[in-house]
């Protein structure tokens, strides 16, 4: 390809890239990867019956997932079957140890809708929660993003999944062997805290987050001696409440303007 053709193809990939995301989001939302867990290989008709969808639509979705490397498509004696790839088994089955299913579902149910209003966000200079949730533009992030217990749990699960994925890299980015305590600001379920106490046997970690998030945290925490070195501090406002001098901050400051960060 010439330079012009190559650049044009890159642009086409960018233009059409949203379709790949939506295929992944839809397959997760319909629990396709859960249906094919534990090495199951099923026909499109079998999968359609289990996810309560049309056979033709399911077949096209499964083929799209196969093209993206999320499913393996096999054919034996004229019968086409679908099974999870190693990638899907590791990250997309909802109850897997390293699952990102909750994070994917969160992006499908919330972030996708917000980005459809990106043009308005640029023009107005405001977030678009009010357009998606039909709440006032001046409502808080908390009220707009998880107005119900169900939405709150989904958000918490999404943050837990995301944090687990990068927890080892964050925990080992700096040598904390000389410290005995740490605070994870906005630490949600304590996924990073759990990794920190695994890496540093003498470290105790305090997780600082909203009371309603702290209330959900125990159901995400593994049991064991390490959990005893993790404590949770329910707080209301990290801009006002007293904080330690040194903090771990993960996926927090991008939500705020420079003057608040």
Where in the sequence numbering do the catalytic residues fall? 254
Closest CA to 170 of 182, 155, 158: 182
d(CA 95, CA 35): 12
Instruction: Order across the sheet with 181-185: list the strands.
Output: 230-234, 204-209, 181-185, 248-249
CB 70 within 8 A of CB 24: yes
d(CA 126, CA 186): 23
CB 165 within 8 A of CB 143: no
At 182, list the tokens: 């740490």
């Amino acid at each position: 390809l010439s330079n012009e053709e190559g650049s044009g193809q890159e642009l086409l990939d960018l233009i059409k890239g949203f379709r790949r995301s939506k295929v992944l989001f839809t397959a997760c939302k319909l629990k396709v990867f859960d249906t094919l867990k534990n090495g199951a290989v099923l026909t499109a008709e079998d999968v359609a019956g289990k996810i309560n969808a049309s056979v033709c639509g399911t077949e096209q979705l499964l083929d799209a997932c196969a093209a993206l490397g999320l499913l393996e498509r096999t054919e034996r004696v004229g019968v086409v079957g679908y099974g999870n790839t190693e990638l899907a088994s590791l990250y997309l089955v909802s109850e897997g140890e390293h699952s990102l299913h909750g994070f994917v579902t969160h992006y499908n149910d919330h972030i996708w809708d917000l980005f459809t209003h990106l043009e308005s966000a640029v023009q107005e200079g405001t977030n678009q929660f009010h357009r998606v949730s039909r709440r006032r533009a001046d409502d808080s992030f908390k009220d707009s993003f998880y107005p119900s217990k169900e939405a709150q749990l989904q958000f918490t699960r999404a943050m837990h999944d995301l944090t687990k994925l990068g927890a080892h890299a964050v925990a080992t980015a700096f040598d904390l062997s000389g410290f005995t305590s740490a605070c994870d600001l906005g630490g949600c379920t304590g996924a990073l805290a759990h990794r920190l106490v695994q890496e540093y046997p003498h470290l105790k970690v305090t997780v600082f987050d909203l009371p309603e998030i702290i209330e959900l945290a125990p159901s995400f925490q593994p049991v064991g001696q390490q959990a005893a070195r993790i404590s949770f501090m329910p707080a209301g406002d990290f801009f006002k409440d007293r904080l330690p001098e040194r903090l771990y901050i993960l996926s927090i400051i991008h939500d705020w303007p420079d003057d608040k960060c």
